[in-house]
Amino acid sequence: MTNSNEVLINNARIVLEDQVLSGHIQIRDGKIWDIGEGVLTNGAAAQAEDFDGDYLLPGFVELHTDHVEGHYAPRPSVRWNPMAAVLAHDAQIAASGITTVFDALRVGLDTDADLQYDDMWALAEAFQIGIDDQSLRADHFLHLRCEVSADDCLSAFSQFENHDLVKLISVMDHSPGQRQFTNIDQYAVYYKNKLNMNDDEFRAFCDRRIALSQNNSDKHRSAIAQICQERGFILASHDDATLEHVQEAIEQDIHVAEFPTTFVAAKASHDAGMAVLMGAPNVVRGGSHSGNIAAQDLAEAGVLDILSSDYIPFSLVQAVFYLADKVDAISLPHAVKMVSSNPAKATGLTDRGEIAIGKRADFSRVKRSNGIPVVHKVWREGQRIV
């Protein structure tokens, strides 16, 4: 007799925490029931699949992606239906092997920003509706990206902090001369092109952003850190560059160091017990688009803990195999932990993130075609979603 709550996977290269095992796994009621070597022939499952030697990877846990914005606002001044945008984003996320995602929404906006709070709230509500009616493939939470230099950062934060999906907060300052953009030439390349400004407009833009940062950043950062400590939110810093930045992060009980821009800041954050997060596109491209530290350099030095897809969902699986191929000290299981168990642990999600008995049955079937990993199928809690 078959059990409709059972799934059997045979002949898979199963990526565990510390090894790759050629064998099988059994799923019961959405959790991993058994893992073993070889082919399992006894028993019967309603769903059985031969992986034919393909990789079985744990479902990825994505902590920082604003990828949904591209679906919602595909062109300047164009707004797509927010539910349709969320569904399109979710489909691409799941098809990249991501089964848990923290979707980033902006908090703290310039008056001339293309997206405003009505847009952010519409997306937040669309995620909630998608969860409530079970139309989303992946498991979604919200990540508030707080631009602490903005005048309205705290007032906007207060509008979102009680939303049920909010689990992760990050604090950032993108003003010129700060953190990500200590190099003003890189700042000019990024913003002059993005906002189509001439030299005079760019100088005025910089002056305004610097003044806002000097007036707001420290007090907003401290206030949000205090709220997170009181409410139990996971707090992340963004683009730390100096030892002073890291010391501030330690004092504010920050758990995740997102995209540190220098080796000094990354190592100090790692040594202090923070999980160091870098962009998978940085790995795939071979460096930062802002001219900062390369993620591979941090990986080689042993101070890289988590990878984020940032703006390209498929970059996670690409970066995993790239690091395993290119960095002698990093095995495939080690690289996979950067996109599964490490981000899960950093955010308190102890029920997922690895192929282990008793954990959620979140996993994918991946094969390599001409060196490129291809995500063929994805399961979440034992149910096929891709």
Q: What is the pLDDT of residue 105?
A: 95
What number of other Cβ atoms are within 10 A of residue 201's Cβ?
12
Residue 289 has pLDDT above 70, yes or no: no
Confidence (pLDDT) at 353: 97
The confidence score (pLDDT) of residue 175 equals 72
106-149 pLDDT per residue, tens: 998 765 567 888 999 999 999 999 999 999 999 999 999 999 99
Least confident stretch, 27-31, 134-138, 189-193: 189-193
- How is the beta sheet containing 306-308 ordered, strand by strand? 60-65, 98-107, 139-147, 166-172, 234-238, 256-258, 275-279, 306-308
Give the fold, CATH level 3, of 59-351. TIM Barrel (3.20.20)
Say what percent of the chain tops pLDDT 90. 77
User: pLDDT band at 94, cuts 50/70/90?
Assistant: very high
CA-based nearest residue to 90, from 16, 140, 34: 140
Q: What pLDDT, on the 0 to 100 scale, is given for residue 3? A: 47
pLDDT computed for residue 210 by the predictor:
82
Which pLDDT tens digit goes with each residue over 137-171? 999 999 999 999 999 999 999 999 999 999 999 99
Q: Say if residue 246's pLDDT is above 60.
A: yes
Q: Answer with the residue of higher pLDDT: 211 or 324.
A: 324
* Residue in this structure with the two tokens 């009680």, named with its chain if needed: 162
Other residues' Cβ atoms within 10 Å of the Cβ of residue 230: 8
Max Cα distance, the chain (Å): 76
What does the alpha-carbon distance between residue 17 and residue 359 come to, in Å, rounded to a whole number? 13
pTM, to two decimals: 0.91
**Across residues 202-223, what is the average pLDDT?**
86
Enter the tokens of residue 290: 């802002």
Contact 210, 176 (CB under 8 A): yes
pLDDT at residue 176 tops 80: no
Q: State the pLDDT at residue 2.
A: 41
> CA quadruple 148, 170, 276, 375: dihedral positive or negative?
negative
User: What is the signed CA dihedral for 365, 371, 372, 377, rounded to 10 degrees?
Assistant: -10
